[in-house]
Structure 1
């Protein structure tokens, strides 16, 4: 279709703050919305849908405050085909109004209770009213993929005649296939001259594929959300759509792709929707390799077991070789050399054997496990920089959780205390306060898993710490005391990271 047309630029319309916030359980404060909008603007998305101004005072206030930030991205507000909704968007001061009305038979009957003729009349009246106020109009026929095609094209023609600037084709309930979406966009593009925008939901896991196929057949703008958040199974993922457009379709976007990973992490933190490790592009495992054959190939040439047309650096991610029961000698040697450890052949064989044994027992093998095994085998245990002495936590329903900690840092005793939203958070904050003389080291990830049942369950804590030069290590601790395990894992990780840095330098 449009392969290799490098001059064709696809606009990216982000709806994380509108459709994304409709994810069950997600509710963003105004400050959180501004943080996400700022990151999206930095990412250079073409348009940001900031919400539904007529739906609540909070939505109106957040829209106004985002607009006051004077971002470069076009700011869009959602509106039903009603003057009150349009007026709310105008009051907020948006650049574009996303006007929508249901068009499928089932929604005409059960949602808006209007006839097809009434819908066409409403479209003409409301778009005319909107354009009288000199605002850009994006018109959406809701549930387009379940709408009779002749009526749908008639609706879009009415919208174009009334002055709409762009029409949106939404797969509202996610029932399209790539082939059907492509054919639909082709038919519509043969009938109207204004740009086509697509909005795909992920109910069958096809949102990204449908979006890309729509672009192949002529869509000029794609609606997406960061991490694919959204109602039900979510929307098309911004990261996957953008990299698909640029790397697979060989087309252009304005996105600064090296900021995709950091954008993903910000939205993950603020929404509380955790990214699965195997999530394409931005998951922890997206560029990770354990298998001996894969790791050896990647170390030699990354294109042996990676796409090649997409690298971790392109999306702001990092390639990792991880230890485990499938790991090979070549990978282990390289991981140890990166940490300043140089085992001989006999020592390397023993280290690999012990790592595989640990993996065979069902354990996740962390970087710290690998370094500890290597140092034991090589008889070169490094002296710890931080030695934990005492930890105390106070909590209750009438007090703020508070933790105090004592440790020796480079042989000198030091104490610190801090508060948190819970005992674990307070303990971690206290530990980080204790080691504030290492400001270039930060806690990157923190995961908790119960590995036994009952009130005395043993918890496994897995953390990752990183320094300002991109070095990182993972560490693990297990205990029935989740607070103690958390601090042990953090300090273990920091010790290993500082040892790694010292040996590399």
Structure 2
């Protein structure tokens, strides 16, 4: 971290609680819907990660939501399981019926919401908040209160409401920046002022409409907030909520604040939520993006090889990632040599020069050089002859408007013929599942990422598919190019599989 010491004295709490709302506010992101089983899988992983509170859902919204919250509450997790409710008996009874011991009650307090949404006066809102609170507390549960749109609420009234719920027995008061209008400096002062009127622990709930959710959450902690609401991968309404991974690592690395999070589980948690939500992060996403610990530029790689701290503020292992060197036109020989070393290839100086030149040539044409590409280039230059272990003999895919997409595949594995079949939500998915059925019988290879782009326009566009596969702790990227999207996908998968199945070869003298 920076050696500069700011003159402003900041005294954050020694420990901050992490309240995860991926399953509630995160699921409110347009296009994101989790099944009950998916919610349970995410809740288990969040518990493994070590979050303090899991907001499992908003029971009043549907019977499916009730079942999901109830089943998560019955999982026996270490984390507290919380349900959201408005301050009405109907909402609170629905939440209590899910067997949770923690209820998060909210009601809007800004004049904007009172006038245009609730059609209520300030006095009516305050009375309903207190009555709902007292009703929930009478049932012996932990109750957290959120004055929705707090940051656009007149401060005098906000203090009045916070005092009222404090006197009613609030266990925590959460301060939502509902439409993300705050800046870090204003957030700090805002929380400082609220701290002066209540001894109840404060929590921050930041939205990312202006791209400042993480910074505002950290500013709230600087001002004394004891808890932060977050979502894995920054999921949430509109531009999302504060990102769990950014807030947690910021607290630990930049402030020295303790949390209950097992940071080595962060990447696995992020990957699970990406798969189940269908929302994949841009590669340059901090902490968990594919490029967060990836390096291509020769000067950078040279520095990293000397000491990782030259171009990495964190070690990838801290969050469960691995460092990657990427081949491309900016890559120097040091980087390519290191990448080949990891692949078990040891070119001499002249061979390395030729390999590096070919990588740069491909990069100059605009081609992304995958791990499989580099491996193939090196084997060719080094005259290493090895047959692919898995070859495609035949593929048949059937799809249509009245049938489930189905594929059958015949693969040659070490010369022996194997037949597999699969169904999926489309021809590509069914083809990949058919291949998986065969390969799973002897190797545990998992598809981690899949992306496709059209190289040309029109209905005859050429598809360029890039995949990332994993076998144990080994990862590989590979691609396939074809006018047939299914064949481009299959080519990419098989190239990656062959790379992962290939033992490090003996280099001929």
Please say whether Structure 1 and Structure 2 have the same fold, judged by a TM-score greater than 0.5.
yes
Measured in 2, the distance between the counterparts of 1:12 and 1:411 equals 53
Q: Displacement, 1:174? A: 0.3
State which of 473, 480, 483 in structure 1 corresponds to 2:483: 480
Helix, strand or coil for the counterpart of 1:17? coil
Q: Residue 117 of structure 2 aligns with which residue?
A: 111
- Cα 1:4–1:351 shift into 2, 3 Å: farther
User: What does 1:48-87 align with in structure 2 at a 5 Å threshold?
Assistant: 48-87=54-93
Q: Residue 459 of structure 1 aligns with which residue?
A: 463
Helix, strand or coil for the counterpart of 2:266? helix
Helix, strand or coil for the counterpart of 1:400? coil
Measured in 1, the distance between the counterparts of 2:288 and 2:113 equals 36
- Cα 1:201–1:503 shift into 2, 3 Å: farther
Q: Cα RMSD over matched residues?
A: 1.6
After TM superposition, the structure 1 stretch with the greater mean CA deviation from structure 2, 286-295 or 97-106, is 97-106
Measured in 2, the distance between the counterparts of 1:503 and 1:84 equals 71
Measured in 1, the distance between the counterparts of 2:42 and 2:318 equals 21
Q: Displacement, 1:408? A: 2.2
TM normalised by structure 2 equals 0.95
Q: Displacement, 1:110? A: 0.8
The question of whether the paired residues in 2 share the 8 Å contact of 1:18 and 1:51 is answered with yes
Measured in 2, the distance between the counterparts of 1:2 and 1:484 equals 60
Measured in 1, the distance between the counterparts of 2:360 and 2:206 equals 43
Measured in 2, the distance between the counterparts of 1:64 and 1:242 equals 28
Question: Runs ≥4 in structure 1, deviation > 3 angstroms?
Answer: 1-5, 500-504
- Within the alignment, does 1:382 sit opposite 2:386 as a pair? yes
Q: Residue 95 of structure 1 aligns with which residue?
A: 101
Measured in 1, the distance between the counterparts of 2:158 and 2:49 equals 34
Q: Residue 5 of structure 2 aligns with which residue?
A: none
Q: Displacement, 1:396? A: 2.3
User: What does 1:287-366 align with in structure 2 at a 5 Å threshold?
Assistant: 287-307=293-313, 310-366=314-370
Q: Which stretches in structure 1 are left out of the alignment for 5+ residues?
A: none
Q: Displacement, 1:125? A: 1.9
Q: Residue 407 of structure 2 aligns with which residue?
A: 403
The question of whether the paired residues in 1 share the 8 Å contact of 2:345 and 2:505 is answered with no
Q: Residue 417 of structure 2 aligns with which residue?
A: 413
Q: Displacement, 1:28? A: 1.3
Measured in 2, the distance between the counterparts of 1:226 and 1:258 equals 14
- Within the alignment, does 1:203 sit opposite 2:209 as a pair? yes
After TM superposition, the structure 1 stretch with the greater mean CA deviation from structure 2, 323-332 or 401-410, is 401-410
The question of whether the paired residues in 2 share the 8 Å contact of 1:2 and 1:216 is answered with no
Measured in 1, the distance between the counterparts of 2:327 and 2:200 equals 53
Q: Displacement, 1:500? A: 4.6
TM normalised by structure 1 equals 0.96
Helix, strand or coil for the counterpart of 2:447? strand
After TM superposition, the structure 1 stretch with the greater mean CA deviation from structure 2, 109-118 or 253-262, is 109-118
Q: Which stretches in structure 2 are left out of the alignment for 5+ residues?
A: 1-7
- Cα 1:241–1:2 shift into 2, 3 Å: farther
Q: Residue 438 of structure 1 aligns with which residue?
A: 442
1:107-128 CA distances to partner (integer Å, 9 max, x unpaired)? 1111111222222222222212
